Amino acid sequence: MDQNATSLSLALEKHELSCVPSAHYCQRNGLSPSSSPSCRADATSESSPPGNWQASRRSSNFSFTSDRDVFDEDSPQDLTYDAAQRLFEQLSSKDESIRQIGLRNLTRSIFVWVKTDFPHEGTEQSPRQRIGSTNERRTDIKTPISRQASSESAPAIVSPVSPKDDAPARIVQQALASLLRLSIRCPFHDVRVQSEEILKELKDGNVDMPTPIRVDVSRFIPTDQIHPVDTDDEQAHSLYSESFVQNCRLEHMVMVMGLHPQYLQQFLETNDHLLRSSGALPYEYRSYIAIMAAARHQCTYLVHLMEVQFLLQGGDREWLRGLDHVPAKLRALSELNKLLAHRPWLVTAQHFKNLTEGEPSTRWQHSHLVQVVVLLCHFHSIAIFCHGAGVNLELDHPRAHAFHTTTSTSPRSNTSSGAATPKVDAKSGRKSPASPIAEIGDVEVLMERMRKLQEEEEDVTTEERSRRFEIEKEEASHGLLPGVSGPVGGAAYFARYVQEPDFSYQDFAKRDAHAEIPTYRAQDYSWDHAFTVMSSYYNGVAELLDEKYQTAYNLTYKTLATRDNVDTTSLRRAIWMYVHCMYGIMYDDYNYSEVNQLLERPLKLYIKTVSCFPEQTTRAVYDGFWKQFRHSEKVHVNIMLLEARMQVGLLYGLRALTQCVRES
């Protein structure tokens, strides 16, 4: 054993430990103990002042300058969630030298934490018996997560950020799960490789290790259709890296959006601005509002991400117990959250008056409420996207991995949808089917209809446009219902973050009190009006949202299935208008007959399910439309649904807020 490894072994023996990194691992990774450990596991380093360590995370620019331990030999048991999280933050730096410091700190700490918390073989409980043991051990680990298993709609059995989960055993479990995620989903090669080596060393030391239940990014999209973490596509890899630096992880939803890099770039910039830029709302408030929004659509994936983000922003873990444990000011947003998520046409000026009046401790300012409306609508729409694209849980979510005591079968991977192996389109770089299209007639019919609409512009009166809108609105409320109508599993978990969890979408055509809630005419309060309000109260966000909308609406590769040089403007417009129509928004200058001409019934079913009942989106609904099209084209549809649905919420919400301001 070389000198460095010997020194490390002696240091660890002070804690009566026997599981240490091997000599090979130490030599390869330059691992050596600090000469004078000076920081406790729950202490704050010099680069992260007490009470403000999360500031370094928000800046995405770390300033670690020394190679030191984060524990001290007198108190290795002082393991906290925050201490573990700080270690992983160092790995999300763009600077490789800082990442190497982080990896060395993480390696030393992981080996100490594992053996400090878990006794040796032959004692009362072994590492294999302790990690993932007792009531926390899963009994269904052999069954891969599927839609039927509620991978998206069911909660974590033991949430990694639950307030009750601060026992050292659970924190170490979560740290190991985070290493598993990094070994598979990190865009930085050094972090990915060394995370895998740490896991291997621990496994060789007889520690029970997590294994992924399913490694797919999406339940709907084959793995080989999505850019891998080590993709050769420079633009995609650059965006992956940027996302990792921002969020300490490469999120599955980002990898799906990566099929359209131009849009992903706009999304990342906007999302980062909403969560981390200067603004009226405290950072932990923003993340908690995001949790509330995601919970309304029962999106386990997004709730988990935002719970983690909430803690990264220094949030009080007690708040994660539910609305009963948060400030009354936040709890008061529940009604607005409920209506914007499901029936935004019910939002009135009175709802905002209720929020701006009352006790000073619970009173909201108008500028703050603009930010609240934007955040709620933003995360409602992201939840819609995650459901619509079948985004799988992150690998460190408790339902996405299992601690096995015996050798198990390989995790499931959806590498094929039953078709021939795909190949990359040389022109666009996107994947396309290897075999000829079986239903080529459908593509030809759609192209012919789009051509006629472009060449033969119909002269339609305003009255006729209004009549066609009513026909389309009525048609959307009949016969287009998701295949699942019952409650979604795991609703009890989400109930902690919402009020009236059973409240859901109601067809606008069947709404109560027709006379009091007329059709929303876009010219009366347009996107330009909403843009002006946001510009006045929420600096910078209006431009970002407008650019993101424009990117999604105008995004085109001039292709349709296997056809090139196709103008898809009318098709994209029909999808956008159909979403707005289902929520009662009418445009006087649009001919709604285009919707029926261009959107086939399975596509309408998908649009309505994702836009109105997102938690009920199934693989059958996704596979049912555009069977002859690329998955990237279906993701493009999903992006348009995200943006169109977000605009619906903003129009209704900001219109009511504007009226409230005028009346105050």
Residue 431 lies in a domain: no
E strand or H helix that includes residue 605: helix 601-612
| pLDDT value at residue 66 | 38
Q: DSSP string of 342-405?
A: H-GGG--HHHHHHHHSS-TTTPPPHHHHHHHHHHHHHHHHHHHHHHHTTBPPPTTSTTSEEE-S
| 432 sits in which H/E element | strand 431-432
Residues of the chain with pLDDT under 70: 1-78, 116-166, 404-441, 447, 452-461, 463-491, 511-515
Residue 266: its pLDDT value, please? 97
d(CA 326, CA 321): 9
Does residue 327 contact residue 284 with C-beta atoms inside 8 Å? no
Task: Write phi, then psi, for 424 (nearest 5 degrees).
Answer: -80, 135
320, 405 Cβ separation under 8 angstroms: no
Cα 204 from Cα 231, distance rounded (Å):
30
| Cα angle, residue 249 at apex, residues 243 and 252 outer, rounded to 5° | 80
CB atoms within 10 A of CB 44: 17
Q: What is the pLDDT of residue 587?
A: 93
| Residue whose C-alpha is closest to residue 645's, from 554, 549, 558 | 549
pLDDT of amino acid 424: 36
* Cα 614 to the center of its chain, rounded Å: 14
Task: Note the pLDDT of residue 109.
Answer: 87
3-state secondary structure of 659: helix
pLDDT at 414: 60
pLDDT digits (tens, 9 = 90+) for 202-217: 988 888 889 999 899 9
Query: What pLDDT is stored for residue 455 in this prediction?
Result: 62
Which phi-psi region, left, alpha or beta, contains residue 323 (left: φ > 0; alpha: ψ -120 to 50)?
alpha
- The answer to whether residue 225 is domain-embedded is no
> Which pLDDT does position 99 carry in this prediction?
93
Active site residues: 299
Q: 149 in a domain, yes or no? A: no
Give SS3 for 585.
strand
| pLDDT digit string, tens, across residues 514-564 | 557 888 999 999 999 999 999 999 888 999 999 999 999 999 998 888 888
For residue 457 the two structure tokens come to: 């512009």
Number of domains observed in the structure of the chain: 1
Longest dimension (CA), the chain: 87
Between CA 144 and CA 140 the distance in angstroms is: 9
Domain contains 46: no
pLDDT of residue 82: 76
User: Does residue 497 belong to any structural domain of this protein?
Assistant: yes
Residue 256 domain boundaries: 241-390+443-480+489-663
Per-residue pLDDT at 456 = 62
**In the 3-class helix/strand/coil scheme, how is 89-142 assigned residue by residue?**
HHHHCCCHHHHHHHHHHHHHHHHHHHHHHCCCCCCCCCHHHHCCCHHHCCCCCC
Residue 3 maps to a domain: no
Task: Tell me whether residue 286 is in a domain.
Answer: yes
Please, which residues have CB within 8 angstroms of residue 305's CB and are 6 or more apart in sequence? 247, 251, 394
Whether residue 547 is contained in a domain is answered as yes
As to burial, measured by CB atoms within 10 angstroms (0-12 exposed, 13-18 middle, 19+ buried), residue 35 is exposed
